[in-house]
Structure 1
């Protein structure tokens, strides 16, 4: 077990570790992040592999062009996240929290973790992962991500 490092500044936040930290463990989350500047919190609605803008009530044919595989959906979801972050004046390292909803964790978590790790390029937000029976938008969706970022003031 490694010594507990002091807080590490990432954008508008500090990454916090506590007793039990082991830098050799590969993990897609950190235990805590503290917003340290007068940053503004940005709450991003759930991103999926489906088109961001779509009618309500949902029209199933609108979603026929989205990928049905996990790799295609995760690329779309992170592309949508990139657009929302940029529109809010944020960058990838400004993400402080992700809540990840999966319809099948066993089938998709490793694919998502790999893409997420590459997309963040070394930045690791706090995270919670849940398995649910279905997502509201379309039954073909495999996961959805709710994100909070700390935008520069």
Structure 2
């Protein structure tokens, strides 16, 4: 049985340590990425909603990269929204830039009433691509 291995981008490792969780866990050929938010380098929320969503996707991209993946390797997404009806248009604009064409990953959007000062969070499962052998 494969032992799960923690994965973290180098520039944000201290934030994950401070809060006691891994940015992602690699298990076999899957990467389970913890919820990513639109936080600045110091961990504080980005105040503008669209910028917060873009920053969350940038943070997600950094974790995926640290695990050997890209957005194209994502198979399942769960996103959390504090005011989905009001935020939908701005969210979809960013989402469509990140995933401009099919095939799209599975996606579940959930409305929540609290995200520790954030308005958007995204967690994913990605399949780690096989590396070609020499």
Any idea what SS the aligned residue of 1:152 has? coil
Q: Decide which of 121, 126, 129 is 2:109's aligned counterpart.
A: 129
Q: State the superposition RMSD in angstroms.
A: 1.7
TM-score by length of 2: 0.69
Query: 2:84, 2:110 → 1: CA distance?
Result: 8
Normalising by structure 1, report the TM-score.
0.61
Deviation at 1:118, TM superposition (A): 0.8
1:44 equivalenced with 2:33 (yes/no) = yes
CA–CA separation in structure 2 for the residues paired with 1:91 and 1:146: 14
Give the gaps of 5 or more residues in structure 2.
Answer: 1-27
Report the structure, 1 or 2, having the larger helix content: 2
Match of 2:47 among 54, 62, 68: 68
- Which structure is larger by alpha-carbon Rg, 1 or 2? 1
Number of residue pairs matched by the alignment: 102
Residue 129 of structure 2 corresponds to which residue in structure 1? 152
1:115 matched to 2:94? The reply is: yes
Q: Secondary structure at the match of 2:55?
A: helix
Gaps in structure 1 of 5+ consecutive residues: 1-38, 55-61
Q: Is 1:87 the equivalent of 2:72?
A: no
**Residue 89 and residue 45 in structure 1: after superposition, are their counterparts in 2 closer, same or farther (change >3 A)?**
same
